[in-house]
Amino acid sequence: MPGRAVKKTGDRWFLVSLDLKTEITNSKTHWEWFSLRFFDDEEMMLFTFPQDGYYDGTYITKSGQRERLQDYTIKSTSETKAMGLRWSSSWDLYVNKKEERYKIIPIQEGHMNFAYFEELCYIKNARDEVVGYCFVELLPGVLNGAGSKAEPGEKKGRIKLSNLFRRIER
């Protein structure tokens, strides 16, 4: 509707604006990103560069107050394969907020979106109750690039763009 203001309401995922210099073939610039939405209307946005030990994030209360989060640990507890690459697929999260310990578990198998692997996950507390949803975005260099553990016969180093385009070429 050109020229007219339109009022919108509803939930949205917390979006991150990262001013980062990334190169899709440089695995050292690849991250794992988590947008956690809790049923009590609180949110966390977390991103890591685990290959360098860098962790950062934001905690958002019901009232909209924002607090920087850098004192948390998130550990991958399983992996999956897609497009010939390995991806983290479940996580244990310890954060000094809310209930402190959570499990992030995929609802269903993730999928590729060009160079990103995406998963929609449950957030479970220590009592194994689902307390929210988490959207996860992963880049391949975390588990497949230089500095990562290679499987027997697997080469490490720069990410091959041809692996990322394979889905499109079919």
> 81 falls in which pLDDT band (50, 70, 90)?
confident
Helices (H), 56-130: none
Nearest-5° Cα angle at 76, 84 to 121: 85
pLDDT at 143: 63
> What single letter denotes the amino acid at residue 62?
K
pTM of this prediction? 0.72
Average pLDDT over residues 135-152: 64
Ordered by where they begin, the domains of the chain are: 30-169 (2.40.370.10)
The number of beta carbons lying within 10 Å of the beta carbon of residue 37 is 21
HSE-up of residue 121 (Cα within 13 Å, Cβ side) = 24
DSSP letter for 70, please. Answer: -
Average pLDDT over residues 57-73: 92
The tokens describing 132, both together, are 């929210």
Give the residue with greater pLDDT, 127 vs 4.
127
User: Which sign does the torsion angle of CA 81, 157, 77, 125 carry?
Assistant: negative
Mean per-residue pLDDT of the chain: 75
The per-residue DSSP string of 118-132 comes to EEEEEEE-TTS-EEE
**CA atoms of 96 and 159, how far apart (whole Å):** 35
Give the residue with greater pLDDT, 25 vs 135.
135
State the virtual CA torsion across 138, 144, 148, 149 in degrees, nearest 10.
Answer: 120
pLDDT above 70: residue 138: yes
pLDDT at 80: 83
> What single letter denotes the amino acid at residue 41?
D
